[in-house]
Amino acid sequence: MRVADMNWMQVEAVLEHEDRAVLPLGSTEQHAYLSLATDSILAERVATAAAEPLGVPVFPVVSYGITPYFTAYPGTVTLRSATFLSLVREILDGISEAGFRRILIVNGHGGNAPAQALAAEWATEHPGARIKFHNWWNAPRTIAKVREIDPKASHASWMESFPWTRVEGVTVPRESKPMVDLTRLSSLDPRETRSLLGDGSFGGLHRRSDDEILAVWEVAIQETRELLAGGWS
């Protein structure tokens, strides 16, 4: 259940029997031919699909993250690390103060990695609280499924091309793009990054069949749900 679809009285009623909640983290950044909100869309959708059968509320996605390297692409918006971490900390404070004691963070953007250390730190400051940090796209079974289908998969490639992240009316190249040298990429400024990447994809096919990508999605939902369901002690 999405908190965005509830009122405060309904949340209070949930708290009478449930102390788990989910916080998705996303980003607004270039994803080649896909939506600029891809990371946010996927984090919120996988969190909601995983939590719904368990009756666990999902808070609205944090739709801005840390992505300074893509700022030469129009539409990309980045937060300073300190701003992002302060925002996540205060959201966790609010969720905890409402009465939720077990919080699963479902992260959809690699640049948000500093939030994992923050989450661990936050938990030590809140006795009785439990927190888990989950990078849904590279969790063990999910990334194994991706590699089983096609190991050439990365940012803005087929592995993020779901029916709900595609932009209507956009035609994507059919050929596979050479994989980028990540070591070289990490040393570049935003303009150099755009020059190297071109359309923004890190390489591989831009799209595979819906059957293949939805098979990845089902694994991701199940893996996320299992993390939410157990292992909180």
Query: How many domains does one find in the chain?
Result: 1
Mind listing the pLDDT tens digit for each residue in 63-88? 999 999 999 999 999 999 999 999 99
Give the structural domain span for 70.
3-229
Mind listing the pLDDT tens digit for each residue in 98-145? 999 999 999 999 999 999 999 999 999 999 999 999 999 999 999 999
Q: Per this entry, what is the length of the chain?
A: 233
Q: At what angle do helices 114-124 and 81-98 cross, to 10 degrees?
A: 40
b/e sequence 112-143, b meaning 16+ C-beta within 10 Å: beebbebbeebbeeeeebebbbbbbbebeebb
The CATH number of whichever domain residue 214 belongs to comes to: 3.40.50.10310
Q: How confident is the model at residue 232 (pLDDT cuts 50, 70, 90)?
A: confident
Alpha-carbon span 200 to 9, nearest angstrom: 44
DSSP 205: -
> Are the C-beta atoms of 65 and 81 separated by less than 8 Å?
no
Structure tokens at 55: 């009756």
